[in-house]
Amino acid sequence: MARYTGPKLKLSRRIGSPIEDIPKHTTKRALVYPGMHGYRGRRLRDYGLRMNEKQKLKFHYSVLERQFRRYIAEATRLPGNTGEILQRLLESRLDNVIRRTGMARTIWAARQIVAHGHVLVNGKKCDRPSYTVQVGDVITLKPRIHKLVRENMESLSGHEVPGWIDFNPGELTTRVIALPTSDQIPFDVNANLIIEFYR
């Protein structure tokens, strides 16, 4: 099985930045390697820097290499800045929209909610985490998952919903009102280095 199922904190340590916005990943101690001597960082060369940026984006959206290459190909085909288009395509994934609203603590929890068939897009069940949402799409949840989602939202008090999503916490409904832009993505990554990596 290709998907990584080990400790997710190791992924944050490997790339040197948090891949999730939860205390377990964001504390300074979490990103320092354990042990008596810790981790003596090495200087990355050009190839290593580009690969590290690519891994950041892959881990943040929990996408495998083959699927990531498809997003690169799609971003290259569309007109405009390839790096910004790549980020927009990844940010528009259904599992990521669930995460951005605060209904799930992590991308892996959001993926599970979608894959188990709890999400409706425009009134129809959608169990594909990679589904790309469009402007005007309305995302709702089945009643049996409401209790869990509300518990998740309580644990993420102070979570800010991005401006391209209109979220109603009372009814747990989400409407996509615009396409995400690179400055609305709360994750620091140099997309141009990623595009250079694949050239």
Of the candidates 72, 110, 111, 115, the one whose C-alpha atom is nearest the C-alpha of residue 90 is 72
Predicted TM-score (pTM) of the model is: 0.86
Residues of the chain with pLDDT under 70: 1, 23-42
Rounded Cα–Cα distance for residues 147 and 141 (Å): 11
pLDDT score, position 38 = 57
Q: Taking a C-beta distance cutoff of 8 angstroms, is the pair 184, 37 a contact? A: no
Q: Taking a C-beta distance cutoff of 8 angstroms, is the pair 99, 110 a contact? A: yes
pLDDT score, position 29 = 60
Domains (range + CATH), the chain = 9-90+188-197 (1.10.1050.10), 94-178 (3.10.290.10)
Q: What are phi and psi of 130, to 5 degrees?
A: -85, 0
Of the candidates 1, 21, 22, 25, the one whose C-alpha atom is nearest the C-alpha of residue 11 is 25
Question: Beta-carbon neighbour count of residue 147 at 10 Å?
Answer: 9
Q: What is the DSSP letter of 119?
A: E
